[in-house]
């Protein structure tokens, strides 16, 4: 293969560096895949933690309602005593909780909200489920008729002494509280959390997005409602950022978490790209060192050699290479070069003396090949023959048969 020494030197450097670059690129690809797996596992972990917390909340609500439903005043349907009880304990309830008791017709007969007393909620699904004997009936997204605040209701039936369903005990949980509860969770950076009711209506989200609260889940996320078990998918979020979503169904809600893949993968990419940059810098330094090596220890000495060779061609047999040239190998070549030049100059001096002698003898002298071709002659030849050897057919033409 033909090519300059510089090109060959750079090819050698490239071949030496290329495997490291390829290894780094492959490592970067694998690191990306590992990062995706890490995000998925993190989504599953966060989803599991939230699921446990919400189950505890739901279980706490169920226990409070069940304890209330088992009181003697409700078995006797003593609603005056019930209201007195509510009045005594309303201050002990957090502001985001309200309890109401409804009779068999779904009308509120006592409760912690005075405005709710006398209102009828028989049209609410959770009330209908509780009246039909369902032990614990969570409701969907609602707006309180008493306060106008968004809420999520839970109901259990209470029975009379004969064991018949006599009414419903309902607790409502304010969604403002639920949003605050989600916002206080210690979540990985870039993580979003959402809670939907059984119909896919958004109840709360952190970071909060009030424009989607109380509205159906976007169609592209409806897959979260299609199976009860945990599920993880990769897709774009509301802000068109690639995210890993995890969703699971609890007894009352659908929970979803979304992790910004960039939070996990970008630092990995930055680290890998930094390594690639250092590798590229090292490659550039290697190429630069190769160029410097070529110009200082190869190009200059070789140009010097070429200049001396041209001087010989022009007849300057005294031209010699300067030693040392900078590299042992080139020095060896220069020494051999100079020795060859000395030998050639010696032969030239001998030849010059020989010609001077041959031109001054009275005899004809010439040199010819075995075929008769003359390639040298002295002055006496020229003077005697009168023609140059090139004009005759060899020395036999000038000898007696």
Taking the C-alpha atoms of residue 87 and residue 221, their distance in angstroms, rounded to an integer, is: 44
Task: With respect to residue 341, please indicate whether it lies within any of the assigned structural domains.
Answer: no
Task: Give yes or no: residues 40 and 164 share one domain.
Answer: yes
- Measured in residues, the chain has a length of 401
Question: Do 127 and 120 form a contact (C-beta atoms < 8 A)?
Answer: no
Examine the fold and report which residue of 283, 303, 319 is the final residue of a domain before the chain moves on: 283
The answer as to whether 338 is a domain residue is: no
Asked if residue 135 belongs to a domain, the reply is yes
Give the sign of the dihedral formed by CA 305, CA 306, CA 311, CA 314. positive
Residues 381, 260 within the same domain: no
What CATH number is associated with residue 13? 3.30.450.20
Final residue belonging to a domain, choices 233, 265, 283: 283
pLDDT tens per residue across all 401 residues of the chain = 445 666 776 777 777 777 777 776 777 667 666 767 777 888 888 888 888 888 898 999 999 999 999 999 999 999 999 999 999 888 887 777 899 999 999 999 999 998 999 999 999 999 999 999 888 999 999 998 888 899 999 999 999 999 999 999 999 999 999 899 888 888 888 888 899 998 889 999 998 888 889 999 888 888 777 766 778 887 776 666 778 888 888 888 888 888 887 777 777 777 777 877 877 888 788 778 777 777 776 777 777 778 877 877 777 777 777 766 566 677 777 788 778 878 877 887 888 888 888 888 888 887 887 777 777 888 887 777 776 655 555 555 556 55
Whether 198 and 63 map to the same domain: the answer is yes
How many CB atoms within 10 Å of residue 120? 14
Q: Which residues of 136-166 are buried (b: 16+ CB within 10 A; e: fewer)?
A: bbbbbbbebebeeebbbbbbbbbeeeeeeeb
Whether residue 145 sits in one domain with residue 269: yes
Residue 297 lies in a domain: no
Q: Is residue 246 domain-shared with residue 127, that is, in the same domain?
A: yes
Torsion of CA 122, 114, 86, 151, to 10 degrees: 60
Count how many domains the chain has. Answer: 2
Instruction: Give me 257's structure tokens.
Output: 């978490």
Check whether residue 38 and residue 154 sit in a common domain: yes
Which of 267, 283, 299 terminates a domain? The answer is 283
Does residue 314 fall inside a structural domain?
A: no
Strand 150-159 and strand 165-174: pairing?
antiparallel
| Domain contains 159 | yes
Pair (375, 244) in one structural domain: no
19 and 153 in a common domain: yes
Range of the domain at 373: 366-398
Residues 24, 145, single domain; the answer is yes
Residues 122 and 30 occupy one common structural domain: yes
Domain assignment of residue 23, yes or no: yes
In a domain, 172, yes or no: yes
Helix, strand, coil share (%) of the chain residues, nearest 5: 50, 20, 30
CA 142 to chain CA mean position, Å: 43
């Amino acid at each position: 293969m033909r090519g300059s020494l510089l090109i060959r030197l750079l090819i050698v450097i490239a071949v030496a560096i290329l495997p490291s670059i390829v290894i780094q690129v492959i490592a970067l690809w694998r690191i990306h895949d590992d990062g995706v797996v890490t995000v998925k596992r993190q989504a599953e972990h966060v989803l599991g933690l939230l699921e446990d917390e919400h189950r505890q909340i739901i279980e706490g609500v169920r226990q409070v309602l069940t304890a209330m439903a088992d009181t003697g005043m409700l078995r006797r349907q003593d609603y005056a005593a019930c209201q007195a009880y509510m009045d005594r304990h309303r201050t002990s309830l957090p502001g985001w909780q309200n309890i109401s008791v409804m009779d068999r017709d779904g009308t509120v007969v006592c409760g912690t909200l005075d405005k709710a007393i006398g209102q009828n909620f028989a049209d609410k699904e959770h009330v209908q489920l509780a009246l039909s004997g369902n032990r614990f009936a969570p409701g969907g997204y609602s707006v309180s008729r008493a306060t106008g605040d968004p809420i999520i209701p839970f109901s259990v039936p209470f029975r009379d002494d004969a064991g018949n369903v006599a009414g419903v005990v309902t607790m409502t949980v304010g969604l403002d509280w639920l949003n605050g509860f989600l916002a206080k969770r210690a979540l990985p950076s870039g993580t979003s959390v959402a809670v939907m009711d059984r119909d896919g209506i958004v109840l709360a989200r952190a970071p909060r997005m009030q424009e989607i609260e109380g509205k159906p889940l976007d169609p592209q996320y409806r897959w979260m409602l299609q199976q009860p078990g945990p599920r993880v998918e990769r897709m774009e979020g509301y802000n068109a950022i690639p995210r890993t979503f995890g969703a699971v169904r609890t007894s009352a809600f659908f929970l979803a978490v979304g992790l910004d893949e960039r939070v996990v993968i970008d630092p990995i990419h930055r680290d890998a790209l930094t390594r690639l940059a250092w590798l590229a810098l090292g490659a550039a330094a290697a190429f630069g060192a190769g160029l410097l090596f070529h110009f200082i220890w190869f190009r200059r000495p070789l140009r010097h050699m070429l200049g001396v060779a041209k001087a010989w061609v022009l007849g300057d047999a005294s031209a010699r290479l300067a030693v040392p040239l900078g590299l042992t190998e080139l020095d060896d070549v220069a020494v051999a070069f100079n020795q060859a030049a000395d030998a050639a100059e010696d032969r030239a001096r001998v030849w010059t003396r020989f010609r001077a002698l041959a031109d001054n003898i009275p005899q004809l002298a010439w040199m010819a090949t075995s075929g008769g071709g003359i390639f040298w002659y002295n002055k006496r030849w020229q003077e005697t023959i009168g023609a140059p050897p090139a004009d005759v057919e060899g020395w036999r033409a000038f000898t007696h048969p």
